[in-house]
Amino acid sequence: MGQGCRIQRMSDNFTTTQSIEAFLHSLQAQNFSGNTIRAYGDDLRQFAVWGASIRVDFDNPKRMSRMDVDGFMLVLSGKKLTGVTRVRKLAAIRKFFGFLETNKVLSTNPATTVIGARREEKEPSILFKEQYKALLYEASEDTRDYAIIMTFLQTGIRLSELSNLKMEDIDFENRLLTVRQGKGKKDRQIPLVDEEVKALRNYLHYRATELILDDDILFLAKNGTSLNVSSVKAIVAKYVKKAGIRKRVSVHTLRHTFGAHKADKNMSLATLQALMGHKKKETTLKYIHLARTNLRKEMVETAL
């Protein structure tokens, strides 16, 4: 369903707040991911709150102009937000105004010609072999936490994808992990290596002895319910600290580590792209660069 398909009839007296909600409903109908819809909603509500603080008529979407968008972008630059974050917020505003234009609320999209911030070219951080080995060692006493970190390192899945894993997604007979409706709304399958199979089997043996309230969810919290993304982040941060790793490490660092090490082992670009669920091969190409720079640096630092 395209953006031009009207999810509900938009009234002439819709407020900005009501228009935002109608726009978010349209994204849901177009099968956008929950994460994308939440991010757009947060960005647009921030824009609306800012606008209401400077103009009494800002809750009328017909009164919005390019100057409003430029003003909001200027305020964001003063908050020292990254260029990537500001570009994302501008994209949300553009799409929202495009929705209003399509539904005849606005005659033109006032954000079309707004110039976005420059994106920072930051090289993703990865873990060297001795670092991810230390991370696994520190987590080895907890079968669940060890399986979580092992899964990130051996499959390269995203944080949201791990949190959404279900029992049925693990196929031990064929040694496959199925990531359902990952980013881009496309399922993919990832082969499981011996270390990952062993970690998951040990965890499932432990899981069977614990309180279970969400039967179908793979990784559970201690209270037997599904493990949310904040808890997973805290688990990784806990072992990063225990392992004495001083660089900034996030859950996504583990995904970058998977991609860089696979590229270093000469995995084909097409295979790596499929495993990581990238839409564009240019995204996957970055891992070849990471392998050639960061892993070469590791060889120098660990030379005998």
Domains: count for the chain? 2
**Any domain includes 117:** no
The pair of three-digit structure tokens given for residue 126, joined into one six-digit string: 């990865």
SS3 190: strand
Which long-range contacts link 39-47 to residues 24+ away (Cβ below 8 Å)?
39/88, 39/92, 40/92, 40/95, 40/96, 43/88, 43/89, 43/92, 43/93, 44/20, 44/92, 44/93, 44/96, 45/20, 46/89, 47/72, 47/89, 47/92, 47/93
Full residue range of the structural domain in which residue 288 is found: 129-301
SS3 96: helix
Provide the CB-side half-sphere exposure for 46 (13 A, CA). Answer: 18
User: Do residues 271 and 202 share a domain?
Assistant: yes
User: Do residues 146 and 293 share a domain?
Assistant: yes
What confidence score (pLDDT) does residue 297 get?
Answer: 61
What confidence score (pLDDT) does residue 294 get?
Answer: 67
User: Do residues 97 and 138 share a domain?
Assistant: no
Please state whether 118 falls in left (phi above 0), alpha (psi between -120 and 50) or beta: beta
What residues act catalytically? 158, 183, 252, 255, 278, 287
CATH of residue 168: 1.10.443.10
- The last residue of a domain, from among 46, 67, 102: 102
pTM of the model: 0.65
User: Do residues 181 and 271 share a domain?
Assistant: yes
* Interatomic CA distance for residues 117 and 247, integer angstroms: 27
DSSP H or E run through 179: strand 176-179
User: Do residues 57 and 172 share a domain?
Assistant: no
**Any domain includes 44:** yes
Mean pLDDT in order along the chain per 10 residues (304 residues): 46 83 92 87 93 86 88 86 85 93 89 74 78 96 97 96 95 95 78 97 93 88 90 96 92 93 90 92 84 64 54
CATH of residue 93: 1.10.150
